[in-house]
Structure 1
Amino acid sequence: MLIDSHCHLDFYTDDLEQIIANAETAGVTRLLAIGIGDGPSTMHRALDIAAAHPNIYASAGIHPQEAHQATPENLAKLSALVEREKCIAVGEIGLDYYHVENPDIPTQQAAFIAQMKIAVAARKPILIHCRTSELATPVAKERYGTANAEQDLLALIAEHWAPHGIPGVMHCFSGDLDHAKRSLDLGFYLSFAGNLTYPKAQGIRDAAAFAPADRILVETDAPFLAPVPLRGQRNEPAFVAHTASFLAELRGISAEALAELTTANFRTLFPSVT
């Protein structure tokens, strides 16, 4: 039994039921559907899917790419969505200095802080999106200068989140060993996606091998980041089994043990999940 801890089910507009069936056939028995939609106006869609499927749970949040839409009205909508029964997390939220067209740094940081406050009020974990600045496009590096999304993110978490003692998830963990240690010290779980299997991802693999057994999760980030040997295809929750198998081999345990471990971790993090 596996749990896909991060997938964008509302992106499957034509074959959602088949995608869910494929996951069940592959032994992926629970899914966390991420509720960012195409922006705040549609961030409810994941919760609508979860309401119709007993094995699916959801989050809600405003992605940093839409941080300029974190208006009082949209933040109030988020607060209401977070109170729904099957909403178990706030996210994905965070910082992204990767694309030149993303909102400016103060706008992103203000939206992030506002959403952390909503999660604190609801006592629900946050799901973190962070694209490390060294991966940014050249024009984005020119725009954002020496600012480092990873460093800024961890500093804001330390100030506005960690004092409240609520856990969270570093979604699609893509940092290095130092980033992993700092995230773990702040109470976060590390969730590994298909990019763990990519040849150039040695830093991610180092973090995955180092992370404590009780702080790791697996995800797809579907429909993005299909793992090897399916890289280049449209990803789907059923494919989390490939990432899990790769992570198990990396950590020197069986695939069955890794599945049991990550499922237990997910349920510790989200105790309302049956």
Structure 2
Amino acid sequence: MYIDSHCHLSFPEIKAKLPEIREAMVAAQVDRALCICTTLEEFDEVHALAMAYDNFWATAGVHPDTEGLREPSLDDLLTLAARPRVIGIGETGLDYYRLNGRSVADMEWQRERFRIHIRASKQTGLPLVIHTRSASDDTIAILKEEGGFHQAKGVNGVFHCFTETMDVARAALDLGFYISFSGILTFKTAADLREVARFVPIERCLIETDSPYLAPVPHRGKTNNPSFVPFVAKLIGELKGMTPEAVGEHTSLNFERLFLSSKVSAKVTSGA
């Protein structure tokens, strides 16, 4: 019924508990999850999860905050994207939250990395999983420069763990992207974000945990895991006058439309 569209099950604080987590997912009716790659060094472990379990998939990408590790080339991403059960490019994007004494101009390396991911998305037809923090203007601008959204090989994707303004949400929707909400939506301080979630059409919403981070109320402060994603669906349902089950059904269809559509069905089937 529910799909966690973004989780990090290879991270140390969560991977040792995977059998327990999978049992909790069954109990919570969370039947699928997308395991997100954040470094090239991590990819094999993330991909192994997708190959070991027929209800997990993987992405290929390097998180914008990653420094001091292997830098992705376009060929790297194309090679990894060709592997079975890889259905997305990312997570990628821009993050200016921790500049560590640098200026935004100094972050050109991050912008170039984002461009490489966008080009990989265009060549493979796989959707982008976008992370943006304190960098929404540049994120949107680069997508417009590189995307080719209305062409045969344009890009689409999702703005994951959305915490931006209503204007950014409108810009993302105008570009054809989905918007994914996490447990942050349940936090007391997230009133503005709840208004964004109320605004975004259910046909363009996804839900996620971003495990092991950002556990939703009533589990805030605990290690997050995919079995908690129904709490995000419940809050969205309250905002939109829907049952959690209906939100689960809509967001699952949205996930299938974005990640498991005909352009990638052959790839998914070959790895099933």
Q: TM-score, normalised by structure 2?
A: 0.89
State yes or no: 1:23 paired with 2:22: no
CA shift, 1:220, in A, is 0.2
Superposition RMSD in Å: 1.8
> Structure 2: how far apart are the matches of 1:178 and 1:9?
32
Q: Tell me the equivalent position of 1:77.
A: 76
What are the within-5 Å matches in structure 2 for residues 174-253 of structure 1? 174-253=163-242
> Structure 1: how far apart are the matches of 2:15 and 2:243?
35
State yes or no: 1:98 paired with 2:97: yes
CA shift, 1:101, in A, is 4.2
> Structure 2: how far apart are the matches of 1:24 and 1:84?
27
Unaligned runs of 5+ in 1: 134-148
Q: Which amino acid aligns with 1:121?
A: Q
> Structure 1: how far apart are the matches of 2:59 and 2:101?
22
Unaligned runs of 5+ in 2: none
> Structure 2: how far apart are the matches of 1:184 and 1:222?
25
Q: Tell me the equivalent position of 1:10.
A: 10
**Which deviations, in whole Å up to 9, do the C-alpha atoms of 1:154-209 show, x marking residues without a partner?**
00011112434332100001111111100000110000000011111122111111
Which deviates more, 92-101 or 117-126?
Answer: 92-101
> Structure 2: how far apart are the matches of 1:106 and 1:171?
22
CA shift, 1:13, in A, is 3.1
Any conservation in 1 of the 2:10–2:45 contact (CA below 8 Å)? yes
> Structure 2: how far apart are the matches of 1:260 and 1:172?
19
Q: Tell me the equivalent position of 1:156.
A: 142
> Structure 1: how far apart are the matches of 2:69 and 2:196?
34
Aligned positions, number: 255
Q: Which amino acid aligns with 1:158?
A: K
SS in 1 for 2:111: helix
CA shift, 1:67, in A, is 5.7
**Which deviations, in whole Å up to 9, do the C-alpha atoms of 1:86-133 show, x marking residues without a partner?**
0000011000011134984101000000111111110100000011x2
> Structure 2: how far apart are the matches of 1:102 and 1:217?
35
Q: Which amino acid aligns with 2:56?
A: I
Which deviates more, 8-17 or 182-191?
Answer: 8-17
> Structure 2: how far apart are the matches of 1:17 and 1:79?
31
> Structure 1: how far apart are the matches of 2:219 and 2:25?
15
SS in 2 for 1:229: coil
SS in 2 for 1:205: helix
CA shift, 1:68, in A, is 6.2
> Structure 2: how far apart are the matches of 1:260 and 1:71?
38
CA shift, 1:262, in A, is 0.6
The 1:162–1:22 alpha-carbon spacing in structure 2 relative to 1, beyond 3 Å, is: farther
The 1:102–1:91 alpha-carbon spacing in structure 2 relative to 1, beyond 3 Å, is: farther
> Structure 2: how far apart are the matches of 1:56 and 1:101?
36
SS in 2 for 1:25: helix
SS in 2 for 1:29: strand
Q: Tell me the equivalent position of 1:56.
A: 56
Of all paired residues, the percent bearing the same amino acid is: 41
Higher relative contact order (CA 8 A, sep 6+): 2
Any conservation in 1 of the 2:74–2:119 contact (CA below 8 Å)? no
Which one of the candidate residues 105, 119, 122 is aligned to 1:117? Answer: 119
CA shift, 1:22, in A, is 1.3
